[in-house]
């Protein structure tokens, strides 16, 4: 049983492997459950690990709405970067 104020995470590196950037940072995305089991509060976590030089990483917890907003921004920027690489404005 999970008591108030405790956390549970969902995710398995075998099923949801982290993204590893070209500079070696591992970005893990997980679901974090806070609070009591009968009234859980869900958050999506981003855990950006150290780079190859040992620079510390960062961690963030987002609401589902915030996670969807970030996903939209990432997809928009990825499309813009691909177009620029292909020589299209």
Per-residue pLDDT tens digits for 18-71: 999 988 899 999 999 999 989 999 999 999 998 888 888 999 999 999 999 999
Which residues does 35 contact at the CB level (< 8 Å), separation at least 6?
2, 4, 5, 41
**pTM (2 d.p.):** 0.74
Indicate the number of domains in the chain. 1
Percent of the chain at pLDDT exceeding 70: 83
Domain of 44 in residue numbering reads as 7-85
Give the end-to-end CA distance of the chain in Å, rounded to a whole number. Answer: 54
Residue 27 in domain: yes
How many angstroms separate the CA atoms of 33 and 24, rounded?
A: 28
Compute how many other C-beta atoms are within 10 angstroms of the C-beta atom of residue 67: 19
pLDDT at 13: 63
Residue 9 pLDDT class (50, 70, 90 cuts): low
């Amino acid at each position: 049983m999970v008591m108030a104020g405790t956390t549970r995470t969902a995710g398995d590196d075998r099923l949801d492997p982290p993204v590893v950037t070209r500079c070696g940072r591992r970005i893990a995305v997980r679901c974090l459950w806070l609070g009591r089991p009968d009234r859980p509060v869900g958050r999506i976590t981003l855990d950006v690990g150290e780079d190859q030089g040992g620079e510390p990483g960062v961690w963030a917890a987002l609401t589902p709405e915030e996670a969807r907003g970030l996903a939209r921004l990432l997809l928009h920027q990825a499309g813009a970067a691909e177009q620029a690489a292909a020589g299209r404005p």
